[in-house]
């Protein structure tokens, strides 16, 4: 017999995915706030959600750090979370890439800063 997840877990994940897909305007608003905060830390940002060619893709904010020999980057997305809230996530890691709640943009920028510094200088973790 197949092992199935409880129905309420499946329904909750489906609802969160639906809220994430339908909440494009909310995600863009939160990514704009994060872009301002990380730009103040000296990073460069590319807002992929402003491209007219990609209206159905999930909104992404690419944050770049440039070094003397190479550069590093992180893609940040916004996802719906339980309790009618939103959170920043490292896009490549999905829900496992949780960074911070969207209400705390300063902490999210610190998390992005720490990840970029670790990628640039791996011994600093």
* DSSP annotation string for the chain: ------HHHHHHHHHHHHHHHH-HHHHHHHHHHHHHHHHHTT-EEEEGGG-TT-TTSPP-EEEEEE-SS-EEEEEEEEEEETTTEEEEEEGGGGGGGEEEETT-HHHHHHHHHHHHHHHHSGGG-
Percent of the chain with pLDDT over 90: 50
pLDDT digits (tens, 9 = 90+) for 44-91: 999 987 656 666 678 999 999 987 778 899 999 999 998 889 999 999
* Stretch 13-35: mean pLDDT: 90
Q: How many domains, the chain?
A: 1
* Domain hosting residue 58, numbered range: 24-124
Query: Could you tell me if residue 8 is inside a domain?
Result: no
What integer pLDDT is reported at residue 94 of this predicted model?
79
What integer pLDDT is reported at residue 35 of this predicted model?
96
């Amino acid at each position: 017999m197949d092992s199935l997840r409880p129905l309420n877990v499946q329904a909750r994940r489906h609802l969160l995915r639906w809220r994430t897909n339908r909440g494009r305007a909310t995600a863009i608003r939160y990514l704009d706030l994060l872009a301002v905060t990380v730009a103040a830390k000296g990073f460069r940002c590319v807002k992929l959600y402003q491209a007219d060619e990609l209206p159905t893709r999930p909104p992404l904010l690419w944050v770049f750090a440039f070094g003397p020999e190479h550069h590093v980057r992180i893609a940040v997305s916004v996802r719906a979370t339980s309790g009618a809230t939103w959170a920043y996530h490292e896009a490549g890691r999905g829900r496992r890439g949780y960074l911070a709640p969207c209400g705390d943009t300063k902490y999210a920028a610190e998390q992005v800063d720490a990840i970029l510094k670790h990628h640039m200088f791996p011994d600093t973790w």
